[in-house]
Amino acid sequence: ILANPKLRRHLGYDTLLLLGILMNYRKYDTSNVYLLKLSALDDEVALRGMGAILYNMLSNRCSDFENSVVENSGGMLSQITGLIGSLFVSEDSDIDYSLRTNEGLILALYQVIHQNRNFMTVLCHSHDKSSNEEVPKYSTPLVVPQLGSLDLMTEFIASHLVKKLPTDLYGFAVGIIRRLISYQKKHRIRLNYDWQPLWTALIYLIKFLLSNEATLIAKADIFATILEALTIFNLFITYGDTFLPNPKEYDELYYEIIRMHQVFDNVHSMSLRHTNENGIWKESSTKVTRALVNIRSIISHFTLKIDYFSASHDGQSLTSEQVLSVVRNNYDSLTLKLQDSLDQFERYAEKPKHTSFFTQLVRSITSAVRRTIPLANLDYQLLLEEYSSLETDR
């Protein structure tokens, strides 16, 4: 079905949905043959068909969202789906996607990316360079994947600071950022990128978690998310010279830390409080306190220098350029502690950490499918005829 354009147009989504459910059926209790087959799948035509179905579903959902939010028609999400979609053939554009579940699509997308190492290769080489059709992949300026991912995670953090959102999602977003920066550090890749929005988003995430400590700490370990955010700052502080494009970025980083010092001071106070209380968060809060060592040294060191500079100029308020000048002229007297393992992180493993989530997700999808597919109105004779023709078409 996936390799046949005609069948894929009518049955493709349901096929992926069924595969998603079958691949997750008791997969933690026994060997799942569907997962094994997906892992070994190297049929380029089938993988391209799978990608076409996923793209058209994503495009359909994004179009619905854009139509409902008139002023947001040029958002990042539409650009990303446009980039992905251009890599696939357009022969499935008229697929009917009514009465479908978003969860089933996302589960299918997760499974094919997570299980099949060939899918991303096929995805990145699906467009014919000889085609006259202009697509983002072969247009200028070239979109660097790392930058797109950083932009997406930054926008997600900055625009989703709400108490109703599961705290784990912030942790996932920050974890992705940490992995990307660790990769840049490891391979000494200097990206011409505006890091300021990322630093701002991380600081406001920390501030949000602090402001809602009483509510959020009862649901999750907010110290783990704060620690991830602080680790990213420490990667910049300790190893920024290996991936930042120029020394000016260092100046801007220190300026931002100094400007938002109150947030870091509040984190330190909260972590000390929980450390001294000997509660369930003692270990996590202790790690946060340790992660603040260099940040607090920067704040303390440059605050003294800035105050001295201000006093020598009749106590006047300093401009941002004057503060940056003070920072540039006082690196030599700054003492920082070398921190190890900043680029070491726990590799993603679905089991056992996320087994409960996927079990509940599959149950939700199954329930939704039962509600949305009108089984009573199905023409079983027609279905049998269509399925019996699969071998003939192949």
More confident position, 7 or 177: 177
Q: For residue 315, how many other CB atoms are within 10 A of its CB? A: 8
- pLDDT for res 203: 98
Domain count, the chain: 2
Domain boundary among 302, 332, 362: 302
- pLDDT for res 286: 95
Q: Is the pLDDT of residue 100 over 70?
A: no
- pLDDT for res 146: 67
More confident position, 235 or 379: 235
- pLDDT for res 383: 66
- Are 125 and 235 members of one domain? no
- pLDDT for res 66: 75
Q: Examine residue 380 and state whether it is found in any structural domain, yes or no.
A: yes
Q: Examine residue 53 and state whether it is found in any structural domain, yes or no.
A: yes
DSSP, residue by residue, 162-230: -TTS-HHHHHHHHHHHHHHHHHHHHHT-------HHHHHHHHHHHHHHHHTHHHHTTTS-HHHHHHHHH
- pLDDT for res 144: 64
Q: Examine residue 35 and state whether it is found in any structural domain, yes or no.
A: yes
- Peptide bond preceding 5: is omega within 30 degrees of 0, i.e. cis? no
Q: Please tell me the distance from the alpha carbon of residue 317 to that of residue 268, in angstroms, as a whole number.
A: 27
Q: Is the pLDDT of residue 96 over 60?
A: no
Mean pLDDT computed over every residue of the chain: 83
Q: Examine residue 330 and state whether it is found in any structural domain, yes or no.
A: no
More confident position, 320 or 377: 320
Q: Please tell me the distance from the alpha carbon of residue 211 to that of residue 116, in angstroms, as a whole number.
A: 42
Least confident of 213-217, 267-271, 325-329, 386-390: 386-390
Rg (CA), the chain: 26
- Are 32 and 97 members of one domain? yes
- Are 131 and 48 members of one domain? yes
Q: What is the pLDDT of residues 143-181, one digit of tens each?
A: 566 688 999 999 999 999 998 888 889 999 999 999 999
- Are 154 and 298 members of one domain? yes
More confident position, 198 or 73: 198
- Are 125 and 150 members of one domain? no
Does the pTM of the predicted model rise above 0.85? Answer: no
Q: Average pLDDT of 59-76?
A: 66
Q: Examine residue 219 and state whether it is found in any structural domain, yes or no.
A: yes
Least confident of 58-67, 329-338, 351-360: 58-67
Q: Examine residue 316 and state whether it is found in any structural domain, yes or no.
A: no
Q: Is the pLDDT of residue 138 over 90?
A: no
> Which pLDDT band, with edges at 50, 70 and 90, does 98 fall under?
very low
Q: Is the pLDDT of residue 95 over 80?
A: no
> Which pLDDT band, with edges at 50, 70 and 90, does 225 fall under?
very high
- Are 128 and 159 members of one domain? no
- Are 125 and 154 members of one domain? no
- Are 53 and 109 members of one domain? yes
- pLDDT for res 92: 47
Domain boundary among 302, 332, 361: 302
In which domain, by residue range, is 265 found? 145-302
Residue 296 and residue 338 in contact, taking contact as beta carbons nearer than 8 Å: no
Q: Is the pLDDT of residue 223 over 80?
A: yes
- Are 33 and 124 members of one domain? yes
Q: Examine residue 314 and state whether it is found in any structural domain, yes or no.
A: no
- Are 152 and 198 members of one domain? yes
Q: Examine residue 247 and state whether it is found in any structural domain, yes or no.
A: yes
Q: Average pLDDT of 370-389?
A: 70
Q: Is the pLDDT of residue 272 over 80?
A: yes
- Are 268 and 297 members of one domain? yes
Q: Please tell me the distance from the alpha carbon of residue 63 to that of residue 80, in angstroms, as a whole number.
A: 13
Domain boundary among 302, 336, 359: 302
- Are 118 and 259 members of one domain? no
Q: What is the 3-state secondary structure (H, E, C) of 215-283?
A: HHCCCCCHHHHHHHHHHHHHHHHHHHHHCCCCHHHHHHHHHHHHHCHHHHHHHHHHHHHHHHHCCCCHH
Q: Please tell me the distance from the alpha carbon of residue 41 to that of residue 200, in angstroms, as a whole number.
A: 43
Residue 170 and residue 225 in contact, taking contact as beta carbons nearer than 8 Å: yes
